[in-house]
Structure 1
């Protein structure tokens, strides 16, 4: 009989709750927008309400295991959120304890990008690949690393911060405090910022001049390129270059068989992957080796939450 898993994805934009099984089937999901000032007590109350609703929707009385993934650094051994860049007041918060106590099921915590890498290992392109890197391209840039078939966490459990490698000395300030990080140049938030900072180009663009600054996103830039907007084309060419530099650095250090790219920006499909593959090939110079860059799972964010307990139990 298939195991039933309750999964939570606590992110900066939304909180998702899913019920799935160990075959990778999602049986139900419940979502709500993230309230930045929710606080610890209210967050747990909301998670329990959503969990109960998702279980009822799936026709499951009690979960066998629970996974919680969080957009930020976590101590997965202690079940503690170390820092919370997107939801205020959750730093040094044991998010596992109250959920585990309420449901009476073993509960595991993991960073969201690392969890997505685990989902790829169990259900996606990384299934039969021992050495791969998963990179998430969304508001920011994160990742997870598998080396010789095992998740690589590093000495302090914080390996995989791919977005915080500096690729432009004295570049724009990143949320981490450093300057010129990959995330500060090619993350979704950074792409939108680079558009808004070019006021003259925005005014001259038939596409962007009709859009409010608050509505400018990375997705809009891809849309502009499809509509023939030259400024969108320029911004994307720069973004592709920054990503290529960052990815080639990663490949040169780790020599993976595969780089899997997920997150919201990866939904751009061929408009992202075709020029990115070309740019990476060019950036290798004399260090070229065979490589594959592939898109992540279509429903990776849902599968990530249920993959964490499955992987932890099998370790």
Structure 2
């Protein structure tokens, strides 16, 4: 008999709620834009309303397990959001307790990037790979690491913050406060910022001169390259170089079999992965070793939310991983 799982993804641009099962099938989903001033009480009210709606759509009366993934640092053992970069007023907030009490169901919390790595382990390219790194390449850059078949969380549960490795000393200031982080150079927000900062190039570009500053995104840069815009080409070449430097640092440190890249920017497909593979090979210099860089799951964010309780239950009960 399959398990029905209610999953929440509380992210920077949207809050999504899904109902899925332990075979990785998504039965329903409900989404709403993230509101920065939502607050604790309203957030829980919205989550419960969305959860009830998703369960009704899936014809599920009560979930067997619940997963919550959050875009920001969390204390998974206490069910607490440590800091909230996207929704104000949620720092040191126990997000698990009210959801668990309402549904009377075991509820588990995880950082969104680590949850995506778990989804890859259970349902994606990491299924039969014991040592891999997952990178989410979106507005920011995060990650999750599997070592010898187990998610590596570190001493404080905060391992995998690969976006905050400095790759340019005295580079642009990152949201974390340091300068020259990978995220501050190659995250989606950083790509858009680098375009906007080059005002002369923007004015001279047929593609970008038609866009308002708030319309410039990383996705638009890839679109500009496809249309032959040379400025887009230069911005992407820089971005690929920064990503290659960051990835080679990670690969040299951890020696994974595989690097999986997900997140919105990964949807650029061959326009991202072909030059990135070439750049990484070049950046290895004499330290080259076999490696693969592959795209993440198409529906990774939905599967991440339902994967967290499945994987946590295995950890709690000391069970070997099932092959989903």
Give TM-score, length-normalised by structure 1: 1.00
- Find the counterpart in structure 1 of residue 77 from structure 2: 77
The alignment yields a C-alpha RMSD, in angstroms, of 0.2
User: Counterparts of 2:12 and 2:242 in 1: how far apart (Å)?
Assistant: 24
Please report how far the alpha carbon of residue 298 of structure 1 lies from its aligned counterpart in structure 2 after TM superposition: 0.2
- Find the counterpart in structure 2 of residue 91 from structure 1: 91
User: Counterparts of 1:314 and 1:156 in 2: how far apart (Å)?
Assistant: 20
- Find the counterpart in structure 2 of residue 55 from structure 1: 55
Query: How many residue pairs end up in the alignment?
Result: 315
Name segments (4+ residues, structure 1) moved above 2 Å. Answer: none
Please report how far the alpha carbon of residue 235 of structure 1 lies from its aligned counterpart in structure 2 after TM superposition: 0.0
- Find the counterpart in structure 1 of residue 172 from structure 2: 172
Q: Which runs of 5 or more residues in structure 2 are unaligned?
A: 316-324
Encode CA deviations 1:270-291: one digit per residue, 9 max, x unaligned.
0000000000000000000000
- Find the counterpart in structure 2 of residue 275 from structure 1: 275
User: Counterparts of 2:213 and 2:80 in 1: how far apart (Å)?
Assistant: 37
- Find the counterpart in structure 2 of residue 249 from structure 1: 249
Residue 229 in 1 paired to residue 242 in 2?
A: no
Encode CA deviations 1:244-284: one digit per residue, 9 max, x unaligned.
00000000000000000000000000000000000000000
Please report how far the alpha carbon of residue 182 of structure 1 lies from its aligned counterpart in structure 2 after TM superposition: 0.1
- Find the counterpart in structure 1 of residue 123 from structure 2: 123
User: Counterparts of 1:312 and 1:31 in 2: how far apart (Å)?
Assistant: 25
* TM alignment of 1:106-145, pairs within 5 A: 106-145=106-145
Encode CA deviations 1:109-138: one digit per residue, 9 max, x unaligned.
000000000000000000000000000000
Residue 290 in 1 paired to residue 274 in 2?
A: no
User: Counterparts of 1:34 and 1:287 in 2: how far apart (Å)?
Assistant: 43
Please report how far the alpha carbon of residue 12 of structure 1 lies from its aligned counterpart in structure 2 after TM superposition: 1.1
User: Counterparts of 1:211 and 1:41 in 2: how far apart (Å)?
Assistant: 38
Encode CA deviations 1:23-50: one digit per residue, 9 max, x unaligned.
0000000000011000000000000000
User: Counterparts of 2:139 and 2:264 in 1: how far apart (Å)?
Assistant: 8
User: Counterparts of 1:25 and 1:119 in 2: how far apart (Å)?
Assistant: 12
Partner of 1:284: helix, strand, or coil? helix
Encode CA deviations 1:162-214: one digit per residue, 9 max, x unaligned.
00000000000000000000000000000000000000000000000000001
